[in-house]
A = this chain, B = another copy of it.
Amino acid sequence: MRIDGRPYRTLFVADDRWTVQVIDQTRLPFEFALRELQAAEQAADAIRDMVVRGAPLIGITAAYGVALGMRSDATDAGLLRVVELLGATRPTAVNLRWALAHMDSVLRDEPLDGRVARAYVEAARMADEDAAACESIGRHGLALLQRLSAVRGGKTVNVLTHCNAGWLACVDWGTALAPVYAAHDAGIPVHVYVDETRPRNQGAALTAFELGAHGIPYTVLVDNAGGHLMQRGQVDVCIVGSDRTTGSGDVANKIGTYLKALAAKDNGVPFYVALPSSTVDWTMHDGLREIPIEERSPREITHVRGRSDDGALREVEIAAPGSAAANPAFDVTPSRLVTGLITERGVCDASREGLQSLFPEHAQ
């Protein structure tokens, strides 16, 4: 996607053909800066500290992290070490585990002196596949938005989204926002209600930033407000991303997604989840019981970071001093609340049957 007219991916290999460059998402929306990753440890830090975030992008960054690790130690022990290092960064997104397992199995069969080159080739292939999957998600979601636009007689379609599942969460295009970009580019009038998405405000910061950069109209909301808008008929469709989806269609996504799905159900608003199939955990059946939920630092709750009137990025304390705080980063939306899954192969029911109709290779 473009920033100031220049095309970017969230992650790319530098001109030296080995340094990995990522957009530093902790500095958005106020500063656009790249960060160089030159060692597996730096890739792990970037994932843990959310310099890069979003399930697809985490997976690709981990793949490149393995490639960086191979440069310093391409032995089996080195491979094991780097896979463990990167795997320990964040627990909920399945793409991370999937990407690492894939890199591990490919590289184990490779002679030591070919591992670095092979790792870069595989990581690049995965990045291209992710971008292509997201583009396909956009195409399938576009058909949905076209139908909604027709039902509304060509009036603006109002989409509500939670957190950031745009191109900043992926390599390019995004998941939940891919249909929005596709619709906008196809001339369908679309407007996005953006949940700010506490505690890290990725909606207000990242989703607002990328929609604004693309010229798509949007309105930021506190996370509390979406239900009220749905009661008033101001939302035509909800589209969110996913950090892990079970083979049965339960969806782990940023904390608060479940509340919006409940409100959508209560008000007859369709609720779609957009995801590349790399986000599906085919081994899981019950999201509420099985998906591990990351618990992050209480400081993300008690403090807020933003731009001060002197232009500096500062943190301010907002809770009563000494407050305890709980910070679960994701919740699980049961499949019964999901109207459909938008995947790279099309739209399906949020169920094992639905997913297997599009991905028969995963039928048991």
Q: Is the CB of A220 within 8 A of B301?
A: yes
How many of chain A's residues have a CB under 8 angstroms from any CB in B?
Answer: 67
A222 partner, pick from B205, B288, B301, beta carbons under 8 A: B301
Copies in the complex: 2
Q: Given the complex, which residues of B lie within 8 Å of A29, measured CB to CB?
A: 319-321
Q: Given the complex, which residues of B lie within 8 Å of A220, measured CB to CB?
A: 301-302, 319, 323-326
Q: A218-B323, A315-B309, A316-B316 are contacts. A288–B231 as well, Cβ < 8 Å?
A: yes
A258 at the interface (CB under 8 A from B): yes
Q: Which of A207-253 contact B (CB under 8 A)?
A: 208-209, 212, 217-229, 231
Q: Is the CB of A317 within 8 A of B307?
A: yes
Q: Given the complex, which residues of B lie within 8 Å of A49, measured CB to CB?
A: none
Expressed in whole angstroms, the minimum distance between the Cβ of A298 and any Cβ of chain B is 8
Q: Is the CB of B301 within 8 A of A305?
A: no
Q: Given the complex, which residues of B lie within 8 Å of A314, measured CB to CB?
A: 308-309, 314, 316
* Additional A-B contact list (15), CB under 8 Å, known A220-B326, A262-B266: A29-B321, A30-B321, A193-B326, A196-B198, A201-B318, A201-B319, A204-B319, A208-B323, A220-B301, A223-B224, A224-B254, A229-B328, A231-B288, A307-B317, A314-B314
